[in-house]
Amino acid sequence: MNLSLTRTLHNLKQLQWTRTQSFHQKLHDLLNQCTNLIHLQQIQALMLTTALDKDNILLSQLIHTSASLGYPSFSYSLFTYNHRPNIFLYNNTIWALSKFNAPCAVLLFNRIRLLGLRPDNYSFPFVLRAVVHLLDDVVGRQIHCQAVSCGLDSDRSVVTSLVQMYCSCLHVSHARKLFDESTAKCGLLWNAMIAGYAKLGDMANARSLFDCMPGKDKDVVSWTAVISGYTQADNPNEAIALFHRMQLHNVNPDEIAILAVLSACADLGALELGEWIHNYIEKHKLHKIVPLCNSLIDMYAKSGNISKALEVFKNMRNKTIITWTTMIAGLALHGLGKEALGIFSCMEKARVKPNEVTFIAVLSACSHVGLVEIGHDYFASMKSKYGIEPKIEHYGCMIDLLGRAGYIQEAKELVRLMPYEANAAVWGSLLAASTRCGDAGLAAEALDNLIMLEPHNSGNYSLLSNTYAALGRWSESRIVRKVMRNAGVEKKPGVSFIEVNNRVYEFIAGDKLDVSFVGTFDVLHSISEQLKMVCLKTAHRGPLDVDD
């Protein structure tokens, strides 16, 4: 136990107990020093022996602290001990239970009126927090009606909580109606509505609302909500562009914003911006925050700098299961299968239990370097050693491993024996394997299934067409292309990205609409002409001189 806390308790016991403000402050300070259940129980005992257990203010503080430390059951037991709780005590207990035991929090809220008490503008936000965890819109509407009957439906904090509740329950139109009807919009209400749109993937409305938001109300939460929304909606370019605007407005990013932008950098391979964020993390001493370091590992690995990813990994003192899994997956992505398995071995020695995602990374590492037998062993150990039932993703990894190594029959047999219906990823692995091995029959079977699962995926048709072409079966290759055209399946153009001065530029094959590309084509044409001249000179003179 904390020695200073023990001494303070001892000193307090020596005092002549009076209900003075100074004593209440000392007890409040004691609660702030609590770090575990033993501390809480000692303070409860102190309150019991000094007849302060009936003091609703001190009891509420004790309930709040115990819930904050993760002891909701203890919080509720403290509440039930008091036979005449007031609204203040009810509110703190509802808050304590809202996250850990949402149904109980709602029941407790419903008891308020039965006892003749009146819910206030704290009661509703706390119970609506519980409804968000329950995702029960029926209960949410009932509580909304009670807020109206209490005349609190226009209170800022209540309206904000109602907006959050309706967005969480996928009734964004109800949330927007409340937002539009509110006559005194505060920053919290704006943020709740913007975050609601962003979480539902409606980035058009989220961005429109954000752009209309008064500048004085925009804070880091507002910017972060939209940036995170763009990242989750697979629009990393917009996420990065908005992050740059956020910097121009001198808004310092918080942990959530940094995580979102690092994810966008990983998607685009924006290494320069990722390195700038890494420097920002170091400068502001955020490198001890494990999720940020995990994201840095992922960003560096996906952006091509696996050595830097390893450096971040090795410098981390506190590694979670996500840390180990991210590093294994990063090494596998770079084709460093043996190194990835070495990290997994270190993970086992550190007694960190792998999860389902870890084994996907491990099996992927085996697949990249053709370690069939080792992959079989790891796949078998999932259930026998760790009690993890393989899911279809794990079977998909094994089928990919067998297919890449040329074990086509074994892969087909595993598809037949696995306890799941083959999905697009499984048939895609078989199609790719059959293409490599020139098995046109299996390729056709795989494509038949893929057409049902992914009718508009042009890559599947191209693989089968290329398989026929490689076997010299040109007529069948043309038939596949014709079927593709008749089905209205268009081949997606190739896309590439380059990063210049922390900005990512996207290039699409055949895109000539943007006038800024005219100069690019002129430069490429000039380079092409110069290469032709060099080739002509070489043909006449022989090998190029060093000066050329």
Q: Are residues 474 and 522 in the same domain?
A: no
Higher pLDDT, 543 or 320: 320
On whether residue 402 sits in a domain, the answer given is: yes
Measured distance CA(226)–CA(449) in Å, rounded: 39
On whether residue 155 sits in a domain, the answer given is: no
Q: Are residues 84 and 19 in the same domain?
A: yes
On whether residue 451 sits in a domain, the answer given is: yes
On whether residue 37 sits in a domain, the answer given is: yes
Q: Are 253 and 246 within 8 A, CB to CB?
A: yes
Nearest to 328 by CA among 316, 351, 346: 346
Q: Which of 413, 436, 454 is the last residue of a domain?
A: 413
Q: Per-residue pLDDT averaged across 84-107, rounded?
A: 87
Give the range of the structural domain holding residue 395, as residue numbers without chain letter: 319-413
Sign of CA dihedral 475, 477, 478, 484: positive
Q: Which of 356, 390, 413 is the last residue of a domain?
A: 413
On whether residue 68 sits in a domain, the answer given is: yes
Number of domains in the chain: 4
Confidence (pLDDT) at 107: 92
On whether residue 241 sits in a domain, the answer given is: no
Q: Are residues 463 and 483 in the same domain?
A: yes
Q: Are residues 484 and 474 in the same domain?
A: yes
Nearest to 293 by CA among 259, 342, 328, 325: 259
Q: Which of 413, 434, 461 is the last residue of a domain?
A: 413
pLDDT in tens, 60-92: 888 888 888 888 888 888 887 776 778 888 888
Q: Are residues 407 and 461 in the same domain?
A: no
pLDDT in tens, 218-251: 999 999 999 999 999 999 999 999 999 999 999 9
Measured distance CA(52)–CA(28) in Å, rounded: 13
* Lowest mean pLDDT segment, chosen from 192-201, 271-280, 524-533: 524-533
* Helical axes 187-199 vs 156-168, angle rounded to 10°: 0
Q: Are residues 469 and 521 in the same domain?
A: no
On whether residue 47 sits in a domain, the answer given is: yes
According to DSSP, residue 217 is labeled G
CATH (domain of 325): 1.25.40
Q: Are residues 442 and 517 in the same domain?
A: no
* Lowest mean pLDDT segment, chosen from 39-43, 50-54, 220-224, 252-256: 50-54
On whether residue 541 sits in a domain, the answer given is: yes
